[in-house]
């Protein structure tokens, strides 16, 4: 049984993230999307809200589960035997930070490998930060976030103004 752990902030989940999750669900037996508590990133959504949105947009994928964690991902991964970490790569800029993270995670957990899926070209320039910036200007978000969470993002952006 091959499990992929896909960690991130998902603040909020975008169509870029969902594209990675969908493709991973056809490659791996099980995909665990792990919503991380990241003190360095000041988010819009609470952990519970991010987990809830992820659950709604992935409900059709039977081998995908949503979890959350406030511990190092290298430690978290120890509870899944033989699991790999999954990361999405948008551009060279992602590569540089992900490359060093992969090495750090390997130091924390010597059996933990990181695998990368390249972003679909439609979503190469898409990030959660870009979604929040667009939402602030009330832009149409239908090409950027799953339709199930459009209202959540719109509502939150009103509160953040
Ligand atoms: P963001 O960088 O948008 O805030 P996260 O920190 O939640 O997103 O990222 C979680 C993972 O998803 C990382 O591996 C990141 O590289 C990947 N990812 C983010 N956006 C995309 C995208 N548009 N296409 C592919 N992978 C992505």
Give yes or no: 136 in active site.
Answer: no
* Cα–ligand 1 centroid distance for 111 (angstroms): 23
pLDDT at 93: 77
- Residue 33: which domain range? 3-160
**Distance between CA atoms of 7 and 146, rounded to whole angstroms?**
18
pLDDT at 41: 67
When divided into structural domains, the chain yields a total of 1
Residue of the CA atom closest to atom 15 of ligand 1: 88
* Average pLDDT of the chain, as a whole number: 95
Q: 141 — phi, psi (to 5°)?
A: -105, 5
Decide which of 80 and 41 is more confident. Answer: 80
DSSP-H helix ranges across the chain:
15-27, 47-58, 73-76, 92-108, 128-136, 150-160
Give yes or no: 119 in active site.
Answer: no
The sign of the dihedral angle between the CA atoms of 95, 100, 105, 110 is positive
**Distance between CA atoms of 58 and 50, rounded to whole angstroms?**
12
pLDDT in tens, 83-108: 999 999 998 778 999 999 999 999 99
* Cα–ligand 1 centroid distance for 87 (angstroms): 8
Give yes or no: 59 in active site.
Answer: no
Residues 6+ apart with CB under 8 A from 62: none
Q: Can you give the CATH number for the domain in which 141 is found?
A: 3.40.50.620
pLDDT in tens, 108-141: 999 999 999 999 999 999 999 999 999 999 999 9
pLDDT in tens, 47-83: 999 999 999 999 999 999 999 999 999 999 999 999 9
């Amino acid at each position: 049984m091959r499990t992929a752990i896909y960690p991130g902030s998902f603040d909020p989940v975008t169509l870029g993230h969902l594209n990675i999750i969908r493709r991973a669900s056809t490659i791996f037996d099980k995909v665990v999307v792990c919503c991380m508590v990241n003190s360095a990133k000041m988010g819009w959504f609470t952990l519970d809200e991010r987990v809830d949105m992820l659950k709604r947009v992935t409900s059709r994928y039977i081998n995908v589960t949503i979890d959350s964690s406030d511990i190092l991902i290298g430690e978290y991964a120890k509870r899944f035997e033989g699991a790999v970490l999954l990361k999405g790569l948008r551009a060279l800029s992602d590569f540089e930070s992900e490359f060093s993270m992969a090495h750090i995670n390997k130091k924390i957990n010597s059996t933990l490998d990181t695998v990368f899926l390249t972003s679909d070209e439609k979503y190469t320039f898409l990030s959660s930060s870009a979604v929040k910036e667009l939402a602030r200007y009330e832009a149409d978000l239908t090409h950027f976030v799953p339709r199930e969470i459009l209202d959540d993002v719109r509502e939150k952006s009103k509160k953040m103004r």
